[in-house]
Structure 1
Amino acid sequence: MAAKESTHAESTLIARSVQDYIERNPIKPGKYAAKRIFAGEKVQITEIAFDAGVELPDHKARTPILVQVIEGSVDFTIGDQLHSLAVGGLLHLEADIMHAVYAAAPARITVTFLSQ
């Protein structure tokens, strides 16, 4: 059963386990699917589910971001730098930096947009 978002003044339950992400944002054949899973005053979190062989081509975020792999693995490219990230891998990227993400096998990441 998917987690119900529980909000109190001090906390918000976003996911109990990876199963919550899987149920909330299933992998779509041949595509990536982005879904906002939290929007707060100072932070926003988006989950992206990738099918095998799918790339999110060069793009940039308007704010600094934290990218964490929660299922599978991805190749995260920044310019000519390639970072191979597995489950638990975490990367920080400043605002307005061009980057791309590729998943050779099905994968799932969260992107946390930080306010400036």
Structure 2
Amino acid sequence: MNIANFNGDKIFGDKIMTKVILESDFSKEIRILLATGQVLKEHKSKFPIVIHVVDGAIDLGVEKVTHKLNKGGIIALKANVHHDLSALKDSVIRLTLSKSDSVDRVNAVAKDSAK
């Protein structure tokens, strides 16, 4: 059994913050902190993902169509779907990755987006 909390040690800063909150036998639960105005550039995953807005609000671009997701909003994307995120206000994002996916890939997208 694993127990975690997405709301602990939240610090919004000048860069996008990512943290592995919990790993299970089948997934990795990543917390992404996006301060107002921060953007995760367009990218894709080789595996299906789930994006859940725990707090805040984002514009989620999915293959060039923008969807506004408010607190509680959740979306599942198939593998290889291009998407981007833009924070409309300070936002806590839960990203569910396949166990086969790489946290380093997520960190690289966040780092590249800060340029």
Once the two structures are superposed, the pairs formed by residues 18-29 of structure 1 within 5 Å of their partners are: 19-20=7-8, 23=9, 25-28=10-13
One-letter amino acid of the structure 2 residue matched with residue 12 of structure 1: N
Aligned to 1:31: 15
Q: Which amino acid aligns with 1:112?
A: T
**Structure 1 CA distance, aligned partners of 2:53 and 2:33?**
10
What residue number does 1:57 align with?
Answer: 41
Q: Could you tell me which of 78, 102, 109 is aligned with 1:94?
A: 78
State the Cα distance separating 1:94 from its structure 2 match. Answer: 0.7
Question: How high is the TM-score relative to the length of structure 1?
Answer: 0.78
RMSD: 1.6
SS at match of 2:7: helix
Unaligned 5+ segments in structure 2 are 101-115
Scaled by the length of structure 2, what TM-score is found?
Answer: 0.79
* Alignment-derived partner of residue 4 in structure 1: none
Structure 1 consecutive aligned stretches of length 4 or more whose deviation exceeds 4 Å: none
Cα distance, 1:95 vs. partner?
1.2
* Per-residue Cα deviation, 1:14-45 (whole angstroms, up to 9, x for no partner): 22xx532xx1x4211x3211111112221011
| Contact 1:64-1:115 within 8 A present in 2 as well | no
Higher Rg of the two aligned structures: 1
Match of 1:105 in 2: 89
* Identity between Structure 1 and Structure 2 (%): 23
Instruction: Give runs of aligned pairs for residues 57-76 of structure 1, distance below 5 A.
Output: 57-76=41-60
5+ residue gaps, structure 1, are: 1-10
Quick one: distance in 1 between partners of 2:25 and 2:7? 26
Following the alignment from structure 1 to structure 2, what is the Cα–Cα distance between the partners of residues 26 and 61? 26
Whether the aligned pair in 1 keeps the contact of 2:59 and 2:86 (CA below 8 Å) is yes
